[in-house]
Amino acid sequence: MEKSQLKKILNNIKDIPTLPQVFVKLTELVNDPRSSAKDLGRVVSIDQSQTARLLKLVNSSFYGFPRKVASVTEAIALIGFNAVKNLCLSISIFDLFADSNGASGFNREKFWQHSIGCAVGGKVLAKYIGYPEKEELFIAGLLHDIGKLLLDQFFHDIFQQITTLVRERDMLMLEAEREVLGLTHAQVGQMLAERWKLPFKLVDPIAYHHQPRKSRRFVKEIAVVHLADILCRAIDLGWGGDNRIPEVDKESWKTLNLKLSALEPIMREMEREFAEAAAIISNYQLRN
């Protein structure tokens, strides 16, 4: 199947989830220099469930504030407009795909664990490379494999062929996707992210986390998600659909300027933070 064909099919599927209007409005406010924290707070507070879950995330050890953050406006003032928008995005996407069970036998729970592990890896790597906006790398890691969910939900038969091939040949899902579909989950995820009009700083890590050299922008962000994905596989944080560990791209490794000796403490920190992050951000916990 050609990319153009799949794109046409995606455009004709009415049930493909769209991002909530709350997030769309948030994006407009974030891009408007006249907006205030109160403006954003009013929009987020329209959805009481999202408000409660957002405050739960902000009060987690991810931020480590010494006192409890009691309101959305206070959260916005402390962590910034973009951070709040990105956290609302993650909550929205969990909601969109949380209750859907594909027909392929793909383990959604372990998939989300892998995604959360990659998100945590993005955050930990941000600290090690001195990247200031850790939330962006957290969200990029969380969404990097979103194309797999779309394939599972809307292209059952094709995805079933892919997962069967992965099991029978013990191959990377990426390779099986190319053989069966002629496209990869990264390309499908890119199409969905573009349809959602997500910022390119999120779109590109989704599109190129397996092939970092194909992009010439947001190189560092892509390199972080690329490495975080591989480290998650190495330490078994969740399951992305296959049992293989891809090679680290040499150019991405150079971009991050990490020492080999840093990998062990990075992975230990990822394991420590994963359990709490999974409990906090998982759909079941966020709904409470």
Indicate the class that CATH gives domain 3-15+101-287: mainly alpha
Query: What is the pTM assigned to this prediction?
Result: 0.85
Q: What is the pLDDT of residue 25?
A: 87
Q: What is the pLDDT of residue 49?
A: 80
Calculate Rg over the CA atoms of the chain. 18
Rounded Cα gap, residues 218 and 203, in angstroms: 10
Q: Which of 52, 92, 171, 79 is nearest to 133 (CA)?
A: 79
Q: What is the pLDDT of residue 107?
A: 85
Q: How far is CA 126 from CA 36, 179, 184, 191, 221, in A?
A: 28, 34, 27, 26, 9
Rounded Cα gap, residues 173 and 175, in angstroms: 5
Q: Which of 88, 24, 4 is nearest to 54 (CA)?
A: 88
Provide block-wise average pLDDT over 10 residues at a time, the chain (288 residues): 65 70 85 90 85 85 86 90 85 73 70 92 96 90 93 87 94 94 92 89 96 94 98 94 94 96 96 80 46
Contacts 24+ apart (CB under 8 A), 175-183: 176/242, 177/151, 181/1, 181/6, 181/151, 182/1, 182/2, 183/1, 183/3, 183/6
Q: Which two tokens stand for residue 202?
A: 């999120």
Q: What's the full length of the chain, in residues?
A: 288
Give the residue ranges of DSSP H helices in 130-256: 134-143, 146-154, 156-169, 173-180, 185-195, 200-208, 219-234, 250-256
Note whether 200 and 217 are within 8 A (CB). Answer: yes
Note whether 125 and 137 are within 8 A (CB). Answer: yes
